[in-house]
A and B are shown apart, each in its own frame.
Chain A
């Protein structure tokens, strides 16, 4: 047996949608994170709720990247592929590195399985040019049944434990301590101890199988831990981190949190998460449509809550009218757009960055709105907190953009201490203005004061019609409209945002990579690889897209070559060109619904440098 020391390893669990690949992947990443490895995960699930069993369209995958040092992405290709059936092998093998170890359940490669997976012969490995020496082929289903023969479980329940056998095998491959997995299962199935026990038994069986049978053929990998940041951690997905960010901001601001929403992939988990936390006073209303989700949030904001509406691109289309209402009424609101592939229904479960211009401009009239984009699953927490703070303190709707990749992916999240986060102080109308106050009076930062219903002496009417700057009455006066338009714009432009940070060779880079949102990990990994190869490269990644950081022009004009890399046809590049005179970047655009592939980025950036 050879023990390979590796900097990082990527494992991809794949099987039928019902095979529990996500649970296996989650446990594996938690087990790895517990020993201090950094982790990044990504689920790849089909759009069909439950495609026919064993079919090519029904395969779902869950990829885990574990590293000794920092890992930024779930990895381009995997070192270990678990394929629970023939269809999984057929569709997922393309995500495997040429020397990857492949674990298959031979019980799921019978004639019918092969037919469903559209194999032509029984030599499925040959058909796919897979070297049999790389394959750990085991009759996994049979062994699971044997292992649980005395458990009194029915066959269907037994088969639900197949994923745990695969997990046990993977844990053996990586020399992982099973105790963490056992504890995870005991907690998960606290109310059904017999299920926990069965799963634990099967993991152990998988581990032992690897240990006894395959010690001669497979490598065992070891991932040491470097650069540990001490602290307490949990695994968190982007959507959960976003929900947590809103909860934290509401608590800091001393406000009720209200979510008006309508289920939509890939944003629904935010609704799920927030609706759990009634003990924190969180109000969630699952509305009749996207329009009402946003409209009811506007109503909740008027009533004095931290109001949020969550959706994806198609929902933004429907919400834009009520978002605009919040713009003209100058009420705080956070609009979460978990981007997916478009246009129309597009690719509901896939990831893109194609809503940027919609977020910036997709409304009638002059309608400036701050836009913030989260860079990673764990960054969603800070981004959501910043969005809520900005909305409340500047009396404006704010668009928070994430994407399917960031929302469903997960990372190790160092537990935040709310005391370390900045205070949130909405501009409540001062008591001394009672009697002289009108609804559009502004503070020094140009922000309208907030008078929440219930306060005597501040009764007022807001609305979608233009109002007089001084009196707050409906006004069609041309000079006044021009003035109000400028004041709304100036208010957004004046919002302070942190400077754009430059990573890598910030003094002498020959190429500056520019991106925003969920591509941060891939762009960072590409930069690292280019620098490892001796190139001078830097990365500037935008979180604040409107308003842009004050040093944007300075950074963009400092380097001989700049490439804006984004998962759309050049929306950020266009926005930057509009805001920075004379800026003409190189562009790297991809709209595949899949995360960037680091190697492809590296090759493309090399070409740009060699131009």
Chain B
């Protein structure tokens, strides 16, 4: 069945004017319409936070649950009903601070969830405290003299937890966002999409380098599996390997030519170079960084049940009772 954005829209979003969540929501509606799964076979599950209001603006099934638990709740939902397409939406606080444990274990188990991480590097709903993705030294209401801790890098956590899919997009970049959302849907298993999203009130400008088209042309690289990693306004830059890492070089300078530029391999089982790409500060890597097939938890649960059903001789409660040592009292 063909769907339009409107088939997935509901209500009037209450986010601040200019909030990155507005942009992301529009892209999610469009991506879902293009994916074409029925709204009634789709569940959108969030935790608590500004971005976790999102399910209220979806014409699908959904839950706006409790702080940090979205991934755990989505896990039960997907495992109990594998036919549902489950989108799990969290912010950086919800997903990586209070919900960090569930985030890593959903990745490790490889639950077939589309996991959206809206990263604005700040707590917005509680009005401006630093988050686990705020940079060291970040000044906020709860860190008036700057934070004294290092942030998480979401890709590092995902890879550390043996995640098989990681993609990144900028909230204002609709085509880029829709592309990663569709890739996440098409990937079987836990698919993490980090969405760089601006909080206009408490952390305005945090993603400025890549937040508009001009900035992205200069400061971002769109990774495409199987293609050379070229970027810049005229593709004058490329990513090359250097020692154990990667670096950005200008072609024609220092003897680098296009032949030196690496070809992106999102399907490579070994995540070493993918991690290097995800962690580059310049350019910022966008698109699907890692997309590797692996058995999913929910499929494995179903397969195991079928396997045991075929092997065992009891298939209902009455037959289960008969598997015990039974005696008869006359």
- Chain A residues with a Cβ under 8 A of chain B: 30, 33-34, 36, 180, 184, 187, 228-236, 244, 247-248, 251, 256, 258, 260, 277-281, 283, 285, 287-289, 291-292, 295-305, 307, 321-322, 324-325, 329, 415-418, 453-465, 473-474
CB contact between B80 and one of A235, A244, A303, A325 (< 8 Å): that residue: A303
On whether the beta carbons of A244 and B320 are closer than 8 Å, the reply is: yes
B contacts with A, residue count (CB < 8 A): 59
- Which A residues touch B83, using CB under 8 A? 454
* Shortest distance from the beta carbon of B314 to any chain A beta carbon, whole Å: 6
Additional A-B contact list (18), CB under 8 Å, known A279-B313, A295-B66, A460-B62 = A33-B327, A234-B326, A244-B320, A278-B312, A279-B315, A283-B305, A285-B79, A291-B72, A291-B101, A299-B75, A321-B66, A415-B326, A453-B81, A454-B81, A459-B60, A461-B56, A464-B65, A473-B11
B309 within 8 A of A: yes
CB contact between B64 and one of A300, A416, A464 (< 8 Å): that residue: A464
- Which A residues touch B311, using CB under 8 A? 279
- Which A residues touch B126, using CB under 8 A? none
* Shortest distance from the beta carbon of A298 to any chain B beta carbon, whole Å: 6
On whether the beta carbons of A322 and B66 are closer than 8 Å, the reply is: yes
Please, which residue of chain A has its CB at the minimum distance from the CB of B60? A459
Q: What are 29 pairs between A and B in contact, CB < 8 Å?
A: A230-B330, A231-B328, A233-B329, A244-B321, A258-B79, A277-B320, A278-B307, A278-B312, A279-B313, A280-B316, A280-B320, A285-B75, A287-B105, A288-B101, A289-B101, A291-B69, A295-B69, A295-B73, A295-B102, A297-B76, A299-B73, A299-B75, A322-B69, A453-B43, A454-B81, A454-B83, A457-B40, A459-B40, A464-B48
On whether the beta carbons of A298 and B309 are closer than 8 Å, the reply is: no
B179 within 8 A of A: no
* Shortest distance from the beta carbon of B108 to any chain A beta carbon, whole Å: 9
B221 within 8 A of A: no
CB contact between A299 and one of B45, B55, B104, B325 (< 8 Å): that residue: B45
On whether the beta carbons of B327 and A292 are closer than 8 Å, the reply is: no
CB contact between A231 and one of B66, B313, B329 (< 8 Å): that residue: B329
* Shortest distance from the beta carbon of B276 to any chain A beta carbon, whole Å: 28
- Which B residues touch A229, using CB under 8 A? 329
Please, which residue of chain A has its CB at the minimum distance from the CB of B52? A463
- Which B residues touch A258, using CB under 8 A? 76, 79-80
Query: Most chain-A CB neighbours within 10 Å: which of B80, B307, B314?
Result: B80
- Which A residues touch B3, using CB under 8 A? none
On whether the beta carbons of A300 and B65 are closer than 8 Å, the reply is: no
Q: Take A234-B325, A321-B66, A454-B84 as given contacts and tell me if A248 and B317 are in contact as well, using a CB distance cutoff of 8 Å.
A: yes
- Which B residues touch A456, using CB under 8 A? 38, 40
B308 within 8 A of A: yes
Please, which residue of chain B has its CB at the minimum distance from the CB of A451? B61
- Which B residues touch A463, using CB under 8 A? 55-56, 63-65
* Shortest distance from the beta carbon of B36 to any chain A beta carbon, whole Å: 15
* Shortest distance from the beta carbon of B1 to any chain A beta carbon, whole Å: 11
What is the CA–CA distance of A281 and B313 in the complex, to the nearest angstrom? 13
* Shortest distance from the beta carbon of B9 to any chain A beta carbon, whole Å: 12
On whether the beta carbons of A453 and B61 are closer than 8 Å, the reply is: yes
On whether the beta carbons of A295 and B76 are closer than 8 Å, the reply is: yes
What is the CA–CA distance of A303 and B64 in the complex, to the nearest angstrom? 14
* Shortest distance from the beta carbon of B208 to any chain A beta carbon, whole Å: 32
What is the CA–CA distance of A168 and B233 in the complex, to the nearest angstrom? 88
Query: Most chain-A CB neighbours within 10 Å: which of B73, B83, B324?
Result: B73
* Shortest distance from the beta carbon of B83 to any chain A beta carbon, whole Å: 7
On whether the beta carbons of A292 and B77 are closer than 8 Å, the reply is: no
What is the CA–CA distance of A461 and B69 in the complex, to the nearest angstrom? 16
- Which B residues touch A260, using CB under 8 A? 76
* Shortest distance from the beta carbon of A435 to any chain B beta carbon, whole Å: 14
On whether the beta carbons of B80 and A300 are closer than 8 Å, the reply is: yes
What is the CA–CA distance of A229 and B78 in the complex, to the nearest angstrom? 46
What is the CA–CA distance of A232 and B322 in the complex, to the nearest angstrom? 10
B148 within 8 A of A: no
B58 within 8 A of A: yes
On whether the beta carbons of B61 and A247 are closer than 8 Å, the reply is: no
- Which B residues touch A474, using CB under 8 A? 56
On whether the beta carbons of B84 and A453 are closer than 8 Å, the reply is: yes
- Which B residues touch A460, using CB under 8 A? 61-62
B41 within 8 A of A: yes
Query: Most chain-B CB neighbours within 10 Å: which of A228, A248, A418, A453?
Result: A453
- Which A residues touch B315, using CB under 8 A? 279-280
On whether the beta carbons of B81 and A30 are closer than 8 Å, the reply is: no
- Which A residues touch B317, using CB under 8 A? 244, 247-248, 251, 280, 418
Please, which residue of chain A has its CB at the minimum distance from the CB of B46? A463
On whether the beta carbons of A459 and B59 are closer than 8 Å, the reply is: yes
B5 within 8 A of A: no
B214 within 8 A of A: no
On whether the beta carbons of A283 and B79 are closer than 8 Å, the reply is: yes
On whether the beta carbons of B62 and A461 are closer than 8 Å, the reply is: yes
* Shortest distance from the beta carbon of A419 to any chain B beta carbon, whole Å: 9
- Which B residues touch A244, using CB under 8 A? 317, 320-321
Please, which residue of chain A has its CB at the minimum distance from the CB of B318? A418
* Shortest distance from the beta carbon of B157 to any chain A beta carbon, whole Å: 14
Please, which residue of chain A has its CB at the minimum distance from the CB of B74? A299
- Which B residues touch A248, using CB under 8 A? 317
What is the CA–CA distance of A417 and B314 in the complex, to the nearest angstrom? 16
What is the CA–CA distance of A474 and B317 in the complex, to the nearest angstrom? 42
Please, which residue of chain B has its CB at the minimum distance from the CB of A457? B40
Q: Take A34-B327, A232-B326, A453-B40 as given contacts and tell me if A251 and B316 are in contact as well, using a CB distance cutoff of 8 Å.
A: yes
What is the CA–CA distance of A30 and B326 in the complex, to the nearest angstrom? 9
* Shortest distance from the beta carbon of B328 to any chain A beta carbon, whole Å: 5
- Which A residues touch B328, using CB under 8 A? 230-233
CB contact between B77 and one of A277, A289, A303 (< 8 Å): that residue: A303
- Which A residues touch B304, using CB under 8 A? 278
* Shortest distance from the beta carbon of A474 to any chain B beta carbon, whole Å: 7
- Which B residues touch A233, using CB under 8 A? 326-329
On whether the beta carbons of B329 and A295 are closer than 8 Å, the reply is: no
CB contact between A292 and one of B75, B84, B316 (< 8 Å): that residue: B75
- Which B residues touch A295, using CB under 8 A? 65-66, 69, 72-73, 76, 102
Please, which residue of chain B has its CB at the minimum distance from the CB of A306? B80
B135 within 8 A of A: no
B201 within 8 A of A: no
B232 within 8 A of A: no
Please, which residue of chain A has its CB at the minimum distance from the CB of B316? A251
Please, which residue of chain B has its CB at the minimum distance from the CB of A258? B80
* Shortest distance from the beta carbon of B52 to any chain A beta carbon, whole Å: 9
- Which A residues touch B128, using CB under 8 A? none
* Shortest distance from the beta carbon of A108 to any chain B beta carbon, whole Å: 30
B301 within 8 A of A: yes
Please, which residue of chain B has its CB at the minimum distance from the CB of A309? B76
Please, which residue of chain A has its CB at the minimum distance from the CB of B45? A299
B176 within 8 A of A: no
Top 10 nearest A-B pairs by Cβ distance? A299-B76, A296-B76, A463-B64, A300-B80, A299-B77, A279-B312, A303-B81, A295-B72, A278-B308, A292-B72
- Which B residues touch A256, using CB under 8 A? 80
Please, which residue of chain B has its CB at the minimum distance from the CB of A240? B324
On whether the beta carbons of A292 and B80 are closer than 8 Å, the reply is: no
Q: Take A459-B60, A463-B63, A463-B64 as given contacts and tell me if A298 and B330 are in contact as well, using a CB distance cutoff of 8 Å.
A: no
- Which A residues touch B104, using CB under 8 A? 288
On whether the beta carbons of A415 and B75 are closer than 8 Å, the reply is: no
What is the CA–CA distance of A455 and B61 in the complex, to the nearest angstrom? 10
What is the CA–CA distance of A278 and B311 in the complex, to the nearest angstrom? 10
What is the CA–CA distance of A236 and B309 in the complex, to the nearest angstrom? 24
What is the CA–CA distance of A454 and B72 in the complex, to the nearest angstrom? 21
Query: Most chain-B CB neighbours within 10 Å: which of A33, A228, A233, A473?
Result: A233
- Which B residues touch A297, using CB under 8 A? 76
* Shortest distance from the beta carbon of A534 to any chain B beta carbon, whole Å: 33
* Shortest distance from the beta carbon of B230 to any chain A beta carbon, whole Å: 41
CB contact between A304 and one of B38, B55, B80 (< 8 Å): that residue: B80
CB contact between B314 and one of A280, A283, A459 (< 8 Å): that residue: A280
What is the CA–CA distance of A300 and B77 in the complex, to the nearest angstrom? 4
* Shortest distance from the beta carbon of B163 to any chain A beta carbon, whole Å: 15
